């Protein structure tokens, strides 16, 4: 019970500080109040995005299906926005939790807090050279980098290379606090945004100190910062740097950092709280968000059909059926036919009035973990042609998920073949960038790591990023009306900016009905929201 109380107390602190978000737009007078180390440290609590981007990413990916397309049912969606996201349409029906508007707003609010902290740090250090605020500066730089990293991966095309990505619209990269309300910042290119993220990471990571926090795992501690760097450089395809940072976290033997899946739980709530336990070695950074993500399950859209059998409930190179680690840990919502749910994304409700039954819905994310960092390292090792070392990392993941059979190169090669379409997707990497070459030797191992990543990051949103990185083409079957295909270079891979942001003058993502668009885009009509 103490663990639950501690989490909710932390959520209250985050909400109380984040609720002051409006002042970040209207300073500058209040900035003079950031006049000591304690106040800056407190402000940095609000430099972490309070939005959960999983709904946008998961519904856009192949991790969810339309139950109305595979079952003899007519289910309604939880809200109209879910229909729009699943159909890769612009979201016009909501600006609430989980919407593009909410993700955009909360990320830039967090970036603004980081910028205010950085300016206050510079001012204090200039006035008093004896002050030591490097840890706060490092945290602010990592927070600023991560806010932009989320935004560019949601609202822009995937990073291709330094040349190709100069053709793609990125997002505004904000490095100064706003002193004028409704300032319109131009969008930069994806390449430019990545360059600035890299600079903030590299400037900040050496300044991080675990001694600066009472609960380090609610902040960018050293391991979380290195894990972020490893993920960033994986997306940028700088594989040696992935190794450098991942090695800092994992060392040569990360076995003791893996999650203990042998623990048995009495109920779904116990699983969800333990998954984000700050005492677990596998968890590097825990982030609370405002989200109603879990309310999707049991409605029209579910983790079901090919999405389920190709990941959580499907076989692998060393197992058949669901992974042994999921025994007793996969739940249904509504009816079994509607798919399964793993409670890492379970809702934690904070009551503001228990009698009235009102309050705030939260999903607390394990944002950086040892397992995901391990798979980042394995992927980098494959591209560096260090296959045996990559397989050793994949075997650590395999064994930690309670699979009794050892993973070998031979098993990987025999399982990840073209005909095994549930687990082997066409990777259009060279179509995205001529420098993104996957050799025939590397291909089965890349398919293996993508499969393991899909399972490991289920309901976190990272599958969508992997689909974008590799140009994987996916289809969404919409009831009995249409099958819409998202091509490797479809404009809709960049989720459209919020309508109010476009109306304010920020350039929208292109939606040209050209050969690079899905052939069904102009014909598709989303079904009516049956909940109305």
Residue 528: pLDDT over 60 = no
**Mean pLDDT (whole number) for 23-50:** 70
Q: Is residue 469's pLDDT more than 90?
A: yes
Q: Which range among 166-175, 328-337, 388-397, 517-526 shows the weakest confidence by mean pLDDT? A: 517-526
The C-alpha angle 439, 442, 446, rounded to 5 degrees, equals 120
CA–CA distance, 335 with 462 (Å, rounded to integer): 27
Higher pLDDT, 31 or 92: 92
CB 448 within 8 A of CB 36: no
Kindly report, residue by residue over 249-258, the tens digit of the pLDDT: 998 889 999 9
Whose CA is closest to 395, among 449, 443, 444, 447? 449
Which range of 33-47, 209-223, 462-476 scores highest in mean pLDDT? It is 462-476
SS (H, E, C) 196-236: HHHHHHHHHHHHCCHHHCCCHHHCCCHHHHHHHHHHHHHHH
Rounded alpha-carbon distances, angstroms, from residue 180 to 243, 319, 330, 377, 440: 42, 58, 49, 43, 54
pLDDT value of residue 33: 76
Cα 234 to the chain's mean position, in Å? 14
Q: Which of 13-27, 136-150, 323-337, 412-426 has the lowest average pLDDT?
A: 13-27
Residue 500 has a pLDDT of: 95
The predicted model gives 292-296 an average pLDDT of: 95
| Whether residue 393 has pLDDT greater than 50 | yes
Q: Using an 8 Å Cβ cutoff, are 11 and 19 in contact?
A: no
| pLDDT reading at 508 higher than 60 | yes
> Which tokens is 330 given?
């996969």
Diameter over CA atoms, the chain: 71
Mean of pLDDT values over 318-340: 92
Residue from 291, 328, 336, 317 nearest 459 by CA = 291
Domain ranges of the chain: 2-503
Contact between 221 and 200 (Cβ < 8 Å) = no
Task: Give me the DSSP letters along 151-182.
Answer: HHHHHSPPP--TTGGGGSB------S---STT
Three-state SS annotation for 402-442:
CCCCCCCHHHHHHHCCCCCCCCCCCCCHHHHCCCCCCCCCC
Backbone angles phi, psi at 196, to 5 degrees: -75, -35
Residue 36: predicted pLDDT = 84
Give the global pTM: 0.91
Sequential DSSP letters for 250-305: H-S--GGGS--TT---SSHHHHHHHHT-TTSTTEEEEEEEE--GGGGTTSSEES-H
Helix (H) or strand (E) segment spanning residue 372: helix 370-383
Checking if the pLDDT of 69 tops 80, the result is: yes
Look at 7 and 173; give whichever has higher pLDDT: 173
Contact 170, 154 (CB under 8 A): no
Distance, CA of 442 to CA of 357 (rounded, Å): 54
Give the pLDDT confidence score for residue 516 in this predicted structure. 41
CA pair distance 370, 294, nearest whole angstrom = 24
Distance CA 413, CA 382 (A): 14
> How large is the average pLDDT for residues 184-198?
96
pLDDT of residue 180: 58
Residue 217 and residue 283 in contact, taking contact as beta carbons nearer than 8 Å: yes
Segment 150-156 shows an average pLDDT of: 98
**Encoded tokens for 395:** 């075997």
| The predicted structure's pLDDT at residue 181 | 56
For helices 190-204 and 222-236, what crossing angle results, to 10°? 150
Structure-token match 């089965």, residue found: 444
Mean of per-residue pLDDT scores for the chain: 89
Distance CA 375, CA 363 (A): 24
Task: Provide φ and ψ at 301, rounded to 5°.
Answer: -105, 130
Q: What CATH number was assigned to the domain covering residues 2-503?
A: 1.25.40.390
Band (16; pLDDT cuts 50, 70, 90): very low
Q: What's the pLDDT at 531?
A: 38
User: What's the mean pLDDT in 63-90?
Assistant: 96
88 and 476 Cβ atoms separated by less than 8 Å? yes
């Amino acid at each position: 019970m103490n663990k639950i109380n501690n989490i909710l107390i932390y959520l209250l602190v985050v909400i109380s500080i984040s609720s002051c978000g409006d002042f970040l737009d209207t300073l500058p007078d209040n900035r003079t109040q950031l006049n000591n180390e304690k106040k800056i440290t407190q402000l940095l609590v609000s430099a972490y995005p309070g939005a959960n981007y999983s709904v946008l990413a998961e519904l856009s990916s192949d991790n969810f299906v339309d139950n109305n397309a595979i079952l003899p049912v007519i289910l309604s969606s939880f809200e109209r926005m879910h229909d729009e996201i699943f159909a890769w349409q612009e979201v016009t029906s909501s600006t609430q939790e989980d919407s593009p508007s909410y993700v955009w707003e909360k990320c830039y609010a967090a970036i603004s807090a980081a910028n205010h902290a950085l300016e206050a740090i510079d001012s204090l250090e200039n006035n008093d050279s004896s002050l030591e605020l490097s840890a706060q500066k490092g945290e602010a730089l990592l927070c600023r980098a991560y806010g932009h990293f989320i935004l560019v991966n949601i609202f822009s095309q995937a990073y291709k290379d330094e040349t190709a990505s100069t053709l793609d619209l990125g997002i505004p990269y904000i490095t100064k606090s706003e002193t004028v309300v409704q300032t319109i910042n131009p969008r930069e290119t994806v390449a430019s945004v990545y360059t600035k993220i890299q600079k903030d990471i590299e400037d900040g990571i050496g300044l991080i100190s675990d001694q600066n926090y009472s609960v380090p795992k609610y902040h960018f501690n050293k391991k979380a910062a290195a894990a972020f760097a490893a993920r960033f450089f994986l997306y940028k395809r700088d594989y040696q740097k992935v190794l450098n940072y991942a090695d800092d976290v994992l060392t040569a033997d990360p076995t003791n950092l893996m999650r203990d899946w042998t623990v048995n739980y009495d109920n779904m709530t116990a699983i969800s709280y333990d998954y984000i336990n700050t005492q677990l070695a596998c968890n590097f950074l825990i982030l609370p968000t405002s989200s109603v993500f879990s309310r999707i399950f049991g409605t029209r859209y579910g983790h079901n059909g090919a999405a389920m059998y190709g990941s959580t409930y499907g076989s692998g190179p060393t197992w058949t059926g669901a992974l042994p680690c999921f025994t007793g840990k996969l739940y249904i919502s509504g009816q079994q036919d509607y798919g399964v749910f793993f409670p890492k994304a379970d809702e934690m409700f904070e009551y503001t009035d228990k009698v009235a039954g009102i309050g705030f819905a939260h999903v607390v994310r394990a944002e950086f973990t040892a397992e995901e960092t391990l798979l980042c390292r394995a992927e980098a090792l494959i591209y560096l042609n260090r296959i045996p070392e990559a397989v050793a990392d994949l075997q650590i993941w395999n064994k930690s998920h309670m699979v009794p059979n050892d993973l070998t190169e031979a098993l990987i090669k025999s399982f990840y073949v073209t005909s095994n379409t549930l687990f082997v997707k066409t990777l259009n990497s060279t179509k995205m960038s001529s420098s993104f070459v996957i050799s025939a030797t590397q291909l089965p191992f890349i398919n293996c790591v993508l499969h393991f990543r899909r399972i490991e990051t289920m309901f976190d949103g990272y599958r969508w990023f992997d689909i974008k990185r590799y140009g994987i083409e996916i289809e969404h079957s919409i009831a009995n009306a249409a099958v819409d295909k998202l091509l490797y270079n479809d404009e809709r891979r960049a989720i459209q900016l919020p309508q109010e942001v476009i109306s304010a003058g920020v350039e929208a993502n292109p939606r040209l009905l050209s050969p690079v668009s899905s052939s069904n885009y102009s014909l598709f009509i989303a079904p009516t929201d049956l909940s109305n």
